[in-house]
Amino acid sequence: MGLRVIGSIGSLPDGSSNPISPAVRAGDFIFISGLMPKGADGQMIDGDIVAQTAVVMDRLSGVLKSAECDFSDVVKCMVWLTNADDFKAFNVTYASYFDGEPPARSAVRSDLLLPGARLELEAICYKPLTA
């Protein structure tokens, strides 16, 4: 079966290498690393939870496309929020990216490693390999 890395290693806000793969395919599953609200320049964006959630979900869309997937292939998301009061607004924005039934999800309140981030999200997709 083997593993296949999807995407290239990014960088941290200070420009140093971030030693994680954006996504890894393992058989019929794609595991997407935690996404934070960073702009194209790799810097954390300013904004409330709605703005940061939209950036994270748009970044997820890009990784999904790289993996030849879309939001309908997402089976599980894990979300970390720095402020429990953000949950309701996060939920509304997050839900707008899924047509029909949403994936399974966990959400917890947690401190995050990068200053200014209000959330982090990772995902698991199921996309069978074709022969």
35-91 per-position pLDDT tens digit:
999 988 888 999 999 999 999 999 999 999 999 999 999 999 999 999 999 999 999
The torsion angle over the Cα atoms of residues 58, 129, 19 and 35, rounded to 10 degrees, is 20
How many domains is the chain built from?
A: 1
Q: How confident is the model at residue 25, as a pLDDT?
A: 95
Residue 75 domain flag: yes
For residues 77 and 121, is the Cβ–Cβ distance under 8 A?
yes
Neighbours of 56 (CB within 10 A): 26
Per-residue pLDDT band for 18 (boundaries 50, 70, 90) equals confident
CATH code, domain with 45:
3.30.1330.40
Q: In what order do the strands lie in the sheet with 104-109?
A: 3-6, 23-26, 29-35, 119-126, 74-81, 104-109
Domain residues for the domain of 31 are 3-126
Q: Which two tokens stand for residue 1?
A: 């079966």
β-pairing, 74-81 vs 104-109, is: parallel
Residue 109 domain flag: yes
- The reported pTM is 0.91
Residue 131 domain flag: no
Residue 28 domain flag: yes
